[in-house]
Structure 1
Amino acid sequence: MTNYLRKFAGVALGIGLASLSGLGAQAEVLKAAADPTIPPFAYRTVSGDVEGFNVDVGKAVAKQLGRDFELVVQEWSGIFAGLFAGHFDVIIAPVTITQERSKSMAFTEGYLETSLGFLTKADAELSDLAALKGKVVAVNNGAIADTWAQENAAKYGFEIQRYLNVPDTAQAVQSGRAFAALAETGTMAYLATKQPGLKVPQTINLGGAFAFAVKPENPELRSRIDTAIECLKQDGTLAALHEKWFGFPPAADSPSVNIVPGYGPVGFENYDPTEHDLACN
C-alpha cells in the first residue's frame, strides 16, 4: 500500500469511528401516538403544536427511559391499527383498560381513573339517564364511550351518532343534531369551559383506568414504560400534572398515585407479576 493509500485509509477509518461515536451518543426515540382532538389530554394549540396532559406524561416517561420523545399524530379510529402495524411504539392517548383490548395489546398499569361525562346545552334537562329516552347521543367512533353507548342504548332508549373526533360530537350538540355528547369526563368538562352554552350534567364512573399500550410482542418495552410510570407516581410528577391539567390533585386511592405490583394491570391479559425495585432518574 502506498503512503497515499495508507493516509486515505486512516482518514476514512477516523471518519467512520467518529460517525459511529456520534450515533452511539444519540438517545433512542420513543415514538408515541395520540389523537390531538381530545382536550385536555391532547390537542392542537393556535400555533399548531400538540400539548396536553397525556403529552406531558409521555414526555416525562421518555425522560425516565433516557429517550427522546416523538409524538405521532394519529386519528383515534386508526390508532390501534397503527400500533399493530408498527408505526409507533406506544399509544399514550387515553386508552381505557378492558379485557377485550388486553387480548391484543399489552397495557401498562393505570395512570388515571376513568369516567364518562355527558355534554349538553346549558338549558337541557338530564337529571338521570332515563331522560335520554328518544334522544340522540353523539360519540367518538371506537372510543370507550362508543362501547358504553352500544351496551346501554336499548336500556335507556337513545340513538347513537358516531363522529371521527370528540370536538365534532360537541358540535353536534351545539347544532342540535344530538341531545348529548359522551366522552371522557375531563375532556367534556374542558370543552364546557371553552364553549359557551354547554354543561356536563351527568357523569358515569367506569371504575377503571387509562393506561399506555404497546404490542404484546414487546414485553420489555411495556415493563420499562410501566416502571417509568411508577417512578412518576413515586416522585409526585404524575400528581402535579394531574393538578396542572384538571385543576385539582388526584384522590389518595387514584391510579395517578397508587403503584401496582408487577407489570401491567392486575387481572388482565399480559399482566406480569414479577416483583421489581424502582431505579428512577
Structure 2
Amino acid sequence: MSRMTSLLPSRLSALLASAIALVAALTPLSAGAEAPKHIKIAVEGAFPPFNYLDSNKQLQGFDVDIANALCQAAKLDCEFVIQEWTAMIPGLLEKRYDAIISSMSMSQERRQKVAFSQRYYDSPTVFITQKASNIAIDTSNGLKGVRLGVTAATSQEAYAKKFFGNADTVVFSASPDLYKGLANGSVDVILEDKLAVYDWLANTKAGSCCMFNGKDIKDPEYFGDGAGIAVRPADTELLATFNAALAQIQADGVYDTINAKYFPFSIQ
C-alpha cells in the first residue's frame, strides 16, 4: 500500500503533463497570437515615383507604401521581391511570389492570365515631348515619321503597335531609359503613364526639358480600369484579403496620407 501511494503522485504528474501537452498541441493559437501568413510581393523597382531603389538600394515609392499598408491592415507578413518587368506575370504563375503590386494596369490581355483586386489607382496615358520641339501630335496619320519611345512589355507598347504603326518605334527596357532617350533626343516623343512620368517632369532637372503634349488617352481594352494587385486566379482567398485591406486603408485615411506624400491631387 505504501508503495502504491508513493508512486501515484509521480504517475499523476506524468499523465497531467502529457494531457497538457496534448491540449496545447491541439488547441489553435488565439487570433492575437496567430503567426501572420507569409507572402512574397513582386515589385519592379524601376518605376519612380511608384517603385524604385533609393541610394541605399532600398525599395521606395507609392506602390511600396501601399503594399506595406495593405500587409499591415491584413496582418500579413510580406516580403518584397524585385522582379524585372517583362517577367512579372510569368514569375507569378511560376509561384516565385504570390502577388504583384507594381503599377500593373488591368488590361483585358492581363485579365486572361491573372486575377486582379479592386483598382488602387488610375491614370491616363499621355504623350511627352521636349519643350523645344515643334512636334504637334497628330494620331490620324499613325505618327508617321515620328521616333516614338515606349517601355518594353507595357500597355503603352501594345497600344503603340496597334495604333501608331507608321511611327519609328523604339522600345526601351525600363522607364528611366525611356525618359533619358527623350531628354537626349534619341526619340522625338514618348508614350507613358501620366502619373508615372509626372515626378520626372516636375521634380527632376532632366525632366524640366519636357512637357505633356496632346490629349490624355484612356482605353480600357489596353490600359484597363486603372492599376490593380495581381494574384494567381486560384488564390481567391488572398485576393479577398487584399480587397478587404484596400477598403480599410481607403476608409481610415491611410490611403489619402500615402497619396498626399507623392501627388498634390487624388489618384484614386
Do the two structures share a fold, i.e. TM-score over 0.5? yes
What is residue 73 of structure 1 aligned with on the other side? 82
Report the counterpart of residue 266 of structure 1 in structure 2. Answer: none
Q: Which amino acid aligns with 1:235?
A: D
Q: What is the match of residue 218 of structure 2? A: 205
Query: Offset at 1:78?
Result: 0.8
Of 184, 189, 193, which aligns to 1:180?
189
Identity %: 22
Q: Deviations over 1:95-137 (max 9, x none)?
A: 1112221111110011111311223222123443349431111
Q: Which amino acid aligns with 2:262?
A: W
The C-alpha deviation readout for 1:137-181, integer Å capped at 9, x for no partner, is: 111111111111112113xx3121111101111111122221112
CA RMSD of aligned residues (A): 2.6
Deviations 1:31-86 (CA, angstroms, capped at 9, x unpaired): 11111111111011112111000101100110111012211101101111110111
Q: TM-score, normalised by structure 2?
A: 0.79
For the Cα contact (< 8 Å) 1:119–1:192, is it kept in 2? no
Question: Which stretch has the larger CA shift, 108-117 or 233-242?
Answer: 233-242
Three-state SS of the structure 1 residue aligned to 2:122 is strand
2:155 to 125, 140, 144: 144
2:111 maps to a residue whose letter is: S
Q: 1:242 to 1:86 in 2, by over 3 A?
A: same
Once the two structures are overlaid, the 10-residue window that deviates more, 195-204 or 39-48, is: 195-204
Give the Cα separation in 2 of the matches to 1:33 and 1:119: 28
Deviates more, 1:215-224 or 1:227-236: 227-236
- 1:215 aligned to 2:232? yes
Distance 1:135 1:227, change over 3 A: same
Deviation of the 1:241 alpha carbon: 1.7
For structure 2, the residue ranges without an aligned partner over 5 or more in a row are 1-13
Instruction: State the alpha-carbon separation in 1 of the partners of residues 148 and 137 from structure 2.
Output: 14
Report the more deviating stretch, 183-192 or 77-86.
183-192
Counterpart CA distance in 1 for 2:36 and 2:233 is 24
From 24, 41, 50, the equivalent of 2:50 is 41
Note the C-alpha offset of 1:25.
5.5
For residues 161 and 259 of structure 2, what CA distance do their matches in structure 1 show? 30
Consecutive aligned runs of 4 or more in structure 1 exceeding 4 Å deviation:
none
Distance in 2 between the 1:125 and 1:80 partners? 39
Larger-Rg structure: 2
TM norm structure 1: 0.76
* Segment of structure 1 superposing worse, 70-79 or 132-141: 132-141
1:112 partner SS: coil
